[in-house]
Each structure stands twice: as C-alpha cells, then as structure tokens.
Amino acid sequence: MVVLSVPAEVTVILLDIEGTTTPIAFVKDILFPYIEDHVKEYLQTHWEEEECQQDVSLLRKQAEEDAHLDGAVPIPAASGDGEDDRERMIQAVVDNVCWQMSLDRKTTALKQLQGHMWRAAFKAGLMKAEFFEDVVPAVRKWREAGMKVYVYSSGSVEAQKLLFGHSTEGDVLELFDGHFDTKIGHKVESESYRKIASSIGCSTSNILFLTDVTVEASAAEAADVHVAVVVRPGNAGLTDDEKTYYRLITSFGCPPRVLPLPAFILTGEGIHLKIRIYTREFCKCAYVYFQNPFHRHLSRRQNLSSVKRKLM
C-alpha cells in the first residue's frame, strides 16, 4: 500500500470524487443508471415546477450548441399543442440526456439535472453514497492538522453535497470547506486550478490535488499545483510512462507531514544533524545523518537513492 505524504507547503487538499473518494462502481452501477431509468418519470412528475423548467431550458441551450455534433438530439421549444406538446418535449429531453450520458459528457446542463434527480433520491432514502474506508479518517486528520479540504468534481456542487450529506458514513459535509464544479472551469484546463486558488485565497503551490485521471493531474500540475494520482480498485489502468512520471498512491492513509525541520543530536561521536528529506517525485521520506552538514548541499528534487549514496 502506497500512502499519501503531504508536502510542507500544502495547506489545502483538493479532492476529486469518482475513483478517488468514491468507488467508480458506485457511480457507474448506481448513480448513472438511476438517471437513465428514472429521468422520464422525474420530468413527468416535476415538469410544471420552475426548477425543472430551468433545467430543461439549460439543456435546450446546450442542445443548440451541440447541433453540429453527430447524433446530437435537439430539444424543441413549446409549440402550445397542450399535452401532446408536453410529452414530445419530455421525450426529447430524455433522448438528449441519454445521448449525452452515452458519451460520458460532463456539461453543466446535464450535471444540474442529474443533481436535482439525485437530491430527490437521496432525500427519499433510495440510495446512500459510498466512500473508500480511508477517506473520512484522512479528511479528519487533515483538518486536525490545520489544513482545509475542498472537493472539485465534474458533478454539480449540489450533487457533491448530496453525496457527502447522505453517505454510509452519515452526514460528513461539515468536514469540507467548500466545493467546486465545472462552473469554475473544466478539470482538464489549467486555468480552472488558478481560479480555485484565487477563490480559496491561496497560491496554487499551496494546493495538493488528488485525482485518478492523469489528464486532470497534468492540467493541475501545469498550474503549479501539487498532484498525486490515486490508484483504486476499478479505476482505469495507467501507462508505464504515467506510472513512472506521476506520484501514485493507493490510500489516503496519513503518515506525519513532511516538514523541513532539522534537529541536532548529541552522540558519542559528536553533534550530528538529523534532516528529514522529502522528494516530491518519489513521495518518500528518509532520515539522513552526517557529521559536517554545512559542507553538504541537498536538492529537494534529488532521487532519494542518490541522496543516500552521497550522505550515508
């Protein structure tokens, strides 16, 4: 098991959800099928409500933007033909939603409707969110250490709050300082992470982003965000290059934070300097002892094995 080490400059943990905090199986086998199976029933029940009409309006606008795509499903405006017109529009929305989901699209319009449907399901007790067992204990430890914890997911903020508010761990919403979705930007765009840092009020270098998607990790890294790629059961496989390049973890398990604080130790051979070394690329720590510390120089990015060869 490869657990997470948090760099000393990090004050904010930014979490992805699917494949990071929550098993992909829960999302793919429970959340998404629920939408496909119940979207028509939901629309028929809530059609006259303002919120539902706002969802439909946003989906219609998205459909207009997608008109040039192969297989795109249009959503017509009301024609005033009564019940037949209503059923025709409902079916068009259903077809559009299913088309978008078949392509695994993450449009704001789709996520908003999904979020409202999940809200109804969670509040009715029809489902509870599932988290990997290391998630909640780790979040508690991070907060106890004075760090802030945020969520950044392609799912709407409302859907995120539903997951963390109705889980097998109970309501754990209070553990999180805030939530971000695609309204701030897409997760594969570096600018999104700069906006998040600005919103939080910190530097991008103060953020550690945990995700299972390497293209997201790359975008975050380009914004000078610390990243770690989370390897969980059921997640997509990684290429050999990705395994070599990215910092990989299999658990949020929390060892002590990596702090660049020296300690002088008096031994029978004299005074030694004890330094805890952190290498970002390898996410490993080691204690190194040497007698003439001020004649030696360490690079934070050196391979740990090379440091050992030089100093031990």
Binding residues for substrate: 153-154, 187
Phi first, then psi: give them for residue 85, nearest 5 degrees. Answer: -65, -40
Q: Which two tokens stand for residue 104?
A: 């695994």
Calpha distance 249→229 (Å, rounded): 6
DSSP conformational letter for 205: G
From 188, 28, 45, 34, select the one nearest 97 (Cα to Cα).
Answer: 34
Inter-CA distances, 10 with 150, 196, 201, Å: 13, 15, 13
Determine how many CB atoms are found less than 10 A away from the CB of residue 233.
10
CB 280 within 8 A of CB 8: no
Residue listed under structure tokens 């700069």? 194
Q: Which residues are annotated as a binding site?
A: 16, 18, 153-154, 187, 212
Calpha distance 250→227 (Å, rounded): 14
Determine how many CB atoms are found less than 10 A away from the CB of residue 244.
10
What is the radius of gyration, based on Cα positions, of the chain? 24
Q: Which residues are annotated as a binding site for Mg(2+)?
A: 16, 18, 212
Inter-CA distances, 78 with 86, 161, 231, Å: 8, 33, 47
